[in-house]
Amino acid sequence: MANRAAHRITPSSGNVFADLGLPDAPELKTKARLSAAMHNPPHPGKVLREYLGAMEVAEAARRLRVSRTTLSRVLNGRAGISADTSLRLSDALGTNPGFWSGLQMDYDLWHAARKRRPRILPFRQAA
């Protein structure tokens, strides 16, 4: 008989990225879930609303040092998340700034790809 090493099976945490020991596991899980098939990704403000939980908009805006109106526009999908806001959110929430800017880019690209565009002529290759 072959000598088989005993394999210990550990239960999953529900986040494969965390199970693999990857940094930023919660952000990776959220990003994977949201962009699974690039099927109408949500506005980043909707994701931010989930992160904020029950925190009042005015309190979150005060902590981020932005106006309540600015944050409200983001949360309601009427404004995007800028690079500066991505940095502020990463500082406040302990996330990666690329997570927020990536959500915005996915959202913008998905919507841009659905708009009518002019025919673009390719550049000629250099000889």
pLDDT tens string 57-72: 999 999 999 999 999 9
Per the structure, how many domains does the chain have?
A: 1
Whether residue 99 lies inside any domain: the answer is: yes
Whether residue 15 lies inside any domain: the answer is: no
> Can you give the CATH number for the domain in which 49 is found?
1.10.260.40
Q: Which domain holds residue 66?
A: 41-113
Whether residue 4 lies inside any domain: the answer is: no
Whether residue 87 lies inside any domain: the answer is: yes
Whether residue 93 lies inside any domain: the answer is: yes
Q: What is the DSSP letter of 14?
A: S
Whether residue 103 lies inside any domain: the answer is: yes
Look at the pTM and tell me if it is higher than 0.75: no
Amino acid residing at 115: K
Whether residue 63 lies inside any domain: the answer is: yes
Q: How far is CA 15 from CA 22, 36, 94, in A?
A: 10, 15, 18
Residue-wise pLDDT tens digits, 78-108: 999 999 999 999 999 999 999 999 999 999 9
